[in-house]
Chains A and B, each alone.
Chain A
């Protein structure tokens, strides 16, 4: 524990090495994780959280790179968490080539961490939240989280950030109608990147049309921006829109409400996994699963009834 306490102390002072180690410990779901989170949590909640998501290859990393540079030039300290998919076969991952592509200025205060999405204990939602809280508690003012918008991850990013930027490309074109509703629903800002290619106007118009249909229902109408991240075009507008959204959230306690509803979601998730873990522990101690499987195999009982029986018995005592 002494080691962990020291790591926590140094993390709160902003020591990079400690921050990095602590993220690893938590990411790996080490036994000390609950203790760490307990100590870190009271020091978090000061940063502003920006999520960047979208289909593979749409230019998320290039955009994050440009945004982080702008944030740093404006004297913000920035933490970046970039989540990339991992190989389903080996569990390994190839991460990288982001902000480090270009030279960092030495006075910039930025911490960049890559993570692989697979096989994380308790899922992506847990680790991105916990790692970003560590960065937050270490004194970072802005946290940027990049994830690929596939599967559940875009919902996770909406659960973990204050402003969600969804990045599409002209290639998303005709698919906007068909596009996963999830990605469209979570956007606070739409970006059509690679606007140097044909078709950008079209996709931007079809997003606007979609937003028009929801007119009246939207309190915040997400702006639709055209960018060419690799050429650095449109990034200043994006930067401004992010702050406009932040200002909007800061009126009438909206930010507080958003965060509280996220915490509610997180609490529910954690209660669920707490229930599952606790019950399983007890069931493993009490019930003979293999014997039950035999009974099911011999059709003395059906699987559903067997499950019900086990859980009820476990809850009784």
Chain B
């Protein structure tokens, strides 16, 4: 049975850096995924969408400032709602020293602005155990 990976994509908080995340969304679509693009959202709304859309993956973009709090908050809220299996990815401008901190708090992977597209696509595909 064909099983498309469903990805909810959002910009964290009031981040207005939209090109990056929209472009990534396009690439994921071209890789055969179903991408639900939300635009600017806060963690509560992102998790709400992940529930209703039965997402496998949540992708968050951030330009700075809020990632250390808002990113892990998405993970916590997902767990609270019983969505433990949903993988959370982050992308954007994130200082390298913050990456271990984010992963410790349950972020599955963090991609800098220069990450090649196929790395992101493969990372997402591999994170989802499709059965």
Scoring A residues 108 to 123 as 1 if CB is less than 8 Å from chain B, else 0, what string do you get?
Answer: 0001111010010000
Which residue of A28, A30, A87 contacts B29 across the interface (Cβ within 8 Å)?
Answer: A87
Q: Which residue of A lies closest to B40 (CB)?
A: A101
- Among the stretches A92-100, A141-149, A185-193, A216-224, the one at the interface with B is A92-100
Q: How far is the CB of B67 from chain A (nearest CB, A)?
A: 21
Decide: A92 near B39, CB < 8 A? Known: A17-B83, A24-B54, A29-B1: no
B26 with A94: CB separation less than 8 A: yes
Residues A8-31 near B (CB distance < 8 A): 16-17, 20-21, 23-24, 28-30
B52 with A92: CB separation less than 8 A: no
Decide: A94 near B29, CB < 8 A? Known: A17-B81, A29-B1, A104-B45: yes
A16 with B29: CB separation less than 8 A: no
Cβ of A305 < 8 Å from any Cβ of B?
Answer: no
- Residues of B in contact (CB 8 Å), total 29
Cα–Cα, bound, A175→B49 (Å): 38
Cβ of A90 < 8 Å from any Cβ of B?
Answer: yes
Cα–Cα, bound, A28→B82 (Å): 22
Contact partners of A20 in chain B: CB under 8 A: 51-54
Contact partners of B82 in chain A: CB under 8 A: 17
Q: Which residue of A lies closest to B5 (CB)?
A: A92
Interface size class of A (residues with CB under 8 A): 20 to 34
Scoring A residues 57 to 82 as 1 if CB is less than 8 Å from chain B, else 0, what string do you get?
Answer: 00000000000000000000000000
Known: A90-B31, A114-B34. 19 other contacts (CB 8 A): A17-B51, A17-B83, A20-B53, A29-B1, A30-B1, A90-B30, A91-B4, A92-B4, A92-B35, A93-B29, A93-B34, A93-B35, A94-B29, A94-B35, A94-B37, A100-B45, A101-B39, A114-B36, A119-B2
* Pairs across A and B, CB under 8 Å, 24 listed: A16-B51, A17-B83, A20-B51, A21-B54, A23-B54, A28-B3, A87-B30, A90-B32, A91-B32, A92-B4, A92-B31, A92-B33, A93-B29, A94-B37, A95-B34, A96-B38, A97-B39, A100-B38, A104-B45, A112-B49, A113-B52, A113-B53, A114-B34, A116-B4
